[in-house]
Amino acid sequence: MLVDTHTHLYLQQFDPDRKESVSRSIENGITTLLLPSIDKSHYSLLMKCVKNYPDNCIPMLGIHPTSVKENYLEEIDFIKKEIDQNKYCAIGECGLDYYWDKTYIKEQEIVLRDQIELAIQHKLPLVIHSRKSLQEIFNILTDYKESYIKGVLHCFPGNVPEAKKAIELGFYLGIGGVITYKNATMADVVKNISLDHILLETDAPYLTPAPYRGKRNESAYISIIAEKVAEIKEISFEEVEKATTLNACKLFNLSL
């Protein structure tokens, strides 16, 4: 059994064959799919997925940094009101993104801090997006270190020293399809970091692993990522399966 700890199954890329995609995941032993939130405009689609696949899909609640615009206060208000309405496995996907647009950097930090405080209040883990902003993320998380926050740095972008820093702050490393790309620096991180600190994720429909790169990603490909991790660490697929599933259960309070 494997867990996809990060898939956007509710996005339109899955509209033609969402049911079949879930079936392929189950056939490949990936029966639990964790769905990160983007913003309130996508919320109904996310929850429809959860309703349609209640045995497989578990929702998160959050505001993606690229969704932080002029209406950021409305977005914050929405998740603060919604948090008590349903059961969520995490606060996320939240974070900072300095790659696409730096217009709302100040607002991104405000929204991230609000979500960290929400996670502390509700004793939920954080799922953090850190594109071109890892050091800034570390600086913010350090401010909350005494609050014993926990979570995962989704699609971990850093090197080995940065991975150790993330672990020191209470975070797992999210490893996805990038690990299968030629000359991926992530291979060095996986080689030098214990399995005890690794989670598997697809970020579907994005970041498709080789040999399907260029096509839409889906949760069934988690097994490809697990195989690559096993190859890099020179251990069995079963060891990767057991450890990463246990990690997911611990962090997200899953009963599998």
Q: What is the pLDDT of residues 213-222, one digit of tens each?
A: 999 999 999 9
Look at residue 189 and tell me whether its pLDDT is greater than 80: yes
Kindly report the average pLDDT of the chain as a whole number.
96
Host H or E run for residue 34: strand 30-35
CATH homologous superfamily for 2-252?
Answer: Metal-dependent hydrolases (3.20.20.140)
SS3 148: coil
Burial class (CB in 10 A: 0-12, 13-18, 19+), 98: middle
Burial (CB count within 10 angstroms: exposed 0-12, middle 13-18, buried 19+), residue 26: middle
Buried b (16+ CB within 10 A) or exposed e, 173-196: bbbbbbbbeeebebbebbeebebe
What are the boundaries of each domain within the chain?
A: 2-252
Amino acid 229: pLDDT: 98
H-helix or E-strand containing 244? Answer: helix 237-252
Which phi and psi angles does 193 have, rounded to 5°?
-115, 140
Cβ-proximal residues to 189 (8 Å cutoff; 6+ apart), any chain = 156, 158, 159, 160, 163, 173
Band (pLDDT 50/70/90 cuts) for residue 255 is confident
Rounded distance between C-alpha atoms, residue 44 and residue 105, angstroms: 27
Question: Quick check: 139 and 116 in contact, CB under 8 A?
Answer: no
**What is this structure's pTM?**
0.97
pLDDT of residue 109: 97
- State pLDDT tens for residues 19-64: 999 999 999 999 999 999 999 999 999 999 999 999 999 999 999 9
**Per-residue pLDDT, 85:** 84
Per-residue model confidence (pLDDT) at position 216: 97
Segment 166-177 shows an average pLDDT of 97
Residue 31 CA from chain centroid, whole number:
16
Nearest Cα to Cα of residue 108 among 136, 83, 86, 135: 136
Q: Determine the Cα–Cα distance for residues 147 and 140; give it in Å rounded to an integer.
A: 12
pLDDT band of residue 237 (cuts 50, 70, 90) is: very high
- What confidence tens digit (pLDDT) does each residue in 95-118 have? 999 998 889 999 999 999 999 999
pLDDT tens per residue, range 138-151: 999 999 989 989 99
